[in-house]
Amino acid sequence: MTEQKKKIVVIGMGYVGIPMAALLADVPNFYVIGIQRKSERSGWKIDWLNAGKNPFKGEEPGLDELIEKVVRNKKFHVTDKYDNLDDAEYVLIDVQTPIDLYTKVPRYESLIEVSEKTARHMKKGVTIIIESTVAPGTTDNIIQPLLEDVSGLKRKKDFYLVFSFERVMPGKLIEYITDFPRVIGGGCYEANQKAKYLYGKVVKKELQVTDTLTAELTKCIENSYRDVNIAFANEMALLCEDFNRDIYKIIELINYRHDRMMHYPGSGVGGHCLTKDPYLLLYGHEAYSEKNYKSHIKLVPFSRELNDFMPVHMVSLMEEALQEARKLVDNIKVTLMGVSYKANTDDTRNTPAQGIIETLMKRYHSHNIVYIAHDPYVKERDYDLTVLTDDFNKAVENSDVLLFATNHKQYYNIDLDALKEAMRTPIIIDGRNIFNKNLVEEKGFIYRKVGEGPKNHSF
């Protein structure tokens, strides 16, 4: 028996919404409408996607072909009109849920706005799935009352509401949807079954059903766990610098044990999730937990603080190197190598590069520093902190220091002789373990790396 056509609406055409919409649109009898706000910053995506083009400039295996296919087959269309929800059977909400940089409180403006617009158009029997990460307790305490009040419908009786978080990562957007387990947190058996039906069409791994709050906690704790592990690696990197030893060699020795997998340090933690989800966890604990004993919650906030410190440490390493070169932090050209937070992608959200530049500008605001950034993937519309170029030679010419914040693959094959010739002062600050210390110093560079002391040593 042939399945009936199903209309699915995905709200938010970003790193989560686009690959999910494209995958669902490739399912027989599924027809997907993407909704994207027509803002100056991101409204261009509507025409771009409707032309069958992938808006991401980083390496995303399979996504170009998939978008082109589903648009060509008239299975996927993008608009800014919410009346498309009137007859939708599923609505997926994939908008950003950032935190305030100063108060660390969630900013739910976009989530609340699209939830209100959804409520005005939702029909009886619709299943609404929140894929955006939220503080534990948000779905039940904010989204459900809002949907019910505006629509006049009741959850579990007239519509279904599910929290099922994304696990995407730039560079592996499709893989992380299809090849990772999916946690489904509905409010009732019927909601879970409807979500299982939908995700079962694209997810190859287990569909794990739980309650809404447990699903919200799972997402926030999962990313907080990774953030804490990176913070430990960063702290050990700072310790190893003091011992004048290389943390990467030590991690290699540790990870020879089959039951150990220590994380790597670096110039900082970026992206939309790891920099935010620990604060969502802490906020949800304070706002919605039953006991709320804050005094014993120490590791998560300290880890965030330490990881946010690493871009500042990159500046300190630069200052040490300039001192060794007997050069003042004045009338110099500083080149930032890589402004996306992750290698070989164009995602600049919460990039460590921002912390580096902001620290420098605050510390040396009247020192006549020329700033330029190089990135082979990022476009100017997504980065406005300094001049940006994809021209490597322009970026390094007459530069006094190169700060490698991102380990793009292009950076591993640099001609060091030509680089030294092009620079005014040959200083490299390595935040991603790209270079071999002995090699770059033999070529005449002053070199500093996160996690390795300044002196040469051998054994």
Q: Which of 83, 76, 79 is nearest to 20 (CA)?
A: 76
Q: Catalytic site residue 273?
A: yes
Q: Which of 190, 152, 11 is nearest to 93 (CA)?
A: 11
Percentage of the chain lying above the pLDDT 90 cut? 89
Would you state the pLDDT for residue 458?
57
Q: What are phi and psi of 47, to 5 degrees?
A: -65, -35
Contact at 8 Å (CB) between 100 and 107? yes
Examine the pLDDT at 292 and tell me if it is beyond 90.
no
The C-alpha atoms of residue 136 and residue 336 are separated, in whole angstroms, by: 37
DSSP string, 164-232: ------TT-HHHHHHSS-EEEEESSHHHHHHHHHHHTTT--S-EEEE-HHHHHHHHHHHHHHHHHHHHH
Distance of CA 264 to the CA centre of its chain: 17
DSSP state letter for 5: P
Q: pLDDT band at residue 457, thresholds of 50, 70 and 90? A: low
Tokens of 141: 């305490």
The stretch 164-192 carries a mean pLDDT of 95
The stretch 89-105 carries a mean pLDDT of 94
185-199 pLDDT, tens digit each:
998 999 999 999 999
Average pLDDT, the chain: 94
Would you state the pLDDT for residue 422?
98
The maximal CA–CA distance of the chain, rounded, in angstroms, is 79
112-167 pLDDT, tens digit each:
999 999 999 999 999 999 999 999 999 999 999 999 999 999 999 999 999 999 99
The stretch 228-252 carries a mean pLDDT of 97
**Amino acid letter, 151:** S
Q: Which of 249, 181, 259, 253 is nearest to 215 (CA)?
A: 181
Q: What's the pTM?
A: 0.92
Strand partners, 106: 99
Q: pLDDT band at residue 1, thresholds of 50, 70 and 90? A: very low
Q: Which of 134, 119, 125 is nearest to 90 (CA)?
A: 125
The C-alpha atoms of residue 249 and residue 252 are separated, in whole angstroms, by: 5
Q: Which of 273, 333, 437, 449 is catalytic?
A: 273
The stretch 300-311 carries a mean pLDDT of 96
Q: Catalytic site residue 220?
A: no
> Is residue 430 classed as helix, strand or coil in its secondary structure?
strand
Write a three-state SS string for 54-122.
CCCCCCCCCHHHHHHHHHHCCCEEEECCHHHHCCCCEEEECCCCCECCCCCCECCHHHHHHHHHHHHHC
Q: Which of 1-5, 112-116, 205-209 has the lowest mean pLDDT?
A: 1-5
Greater model confidence, 172 or 293: 172
∠ CA 452-454-459, nearest 5°, is 70
The C-alpha atoms of residue 388 and residue 371 are separated, in whole angstroms, by: 9
The C-alpha atoms of residue 223 and residue 211 are separated, in whole angstroms, by: 19
Would you state the pLDDT for residue 38?
87
List the strands of the sheet with 76-79, edge to edge. Answer: 76-79, 30-35, 6-11, 90-93, 127-130, 160-163, 182-186, 207-210
The stretch 337-362 carries a mean pLDDT of 95
The stretch 420-428 carries a mean pLDDT of 97
Would you state the pLDDT for residue 459?
54
Q: pLDDT band at residue 294, thresholds of 50, 70 and 90? A: low
* Burial zone of 73 (CB within 10 Å; 0-12 exposed, 13-18 middle, 19+ buried): exposed
DSSP string, 286-352: HHH-SS--GGG--HHHHHHHHHHHHHHHHHHHHHHHHHHTT--SSS-EEEEE--SSSTTS---TT-H
Q: Which of 52-56, 278-282, 454-458 has the lowest mean pLDDT?
A: 454-458
Contact at 8 Å (CB) between 210 and 185? yes
Examine the pLDDT at 446 and tell me if it is beyond 80.
yes
Q: Domains in the chain and their CATH numbers?
A: 6-210 (3.40.50.720), 219-300 (1.10.1040.10), 310-449 (3.40.50.720)
Examine the pLDDT at 43 and tell me if it is beyond 80.
no
Would you state the pLDDT for residue 143?
98
Tokens of 332: 């110099």
Would you state the pLDDT for residue 456?
63
Q: Which of 219, 276, 342, 437 is catalytic?
A: 219
Would you state the pLDDT for residue 287?
92
The C-alpha atoms of residue 208 and residue 151 are separated, in whole angstroms, by: 30
Strand partners, 32: 8, 76
Would you state the pLDDT for residue 358?
95
The stretch 435-444 carries a mean pLDDT of 96
* Burial zone of 152 (CB within 10 Å; 0-12 exposed, 13-18 middle, 19+ buried): exposed
Q: pLDDT band at residue 381, thresholds of 50, 70 and 90? A: confident
Would you state the pLDDT for residue 365?
86
Would you state the pLDDT for residue 237?
97
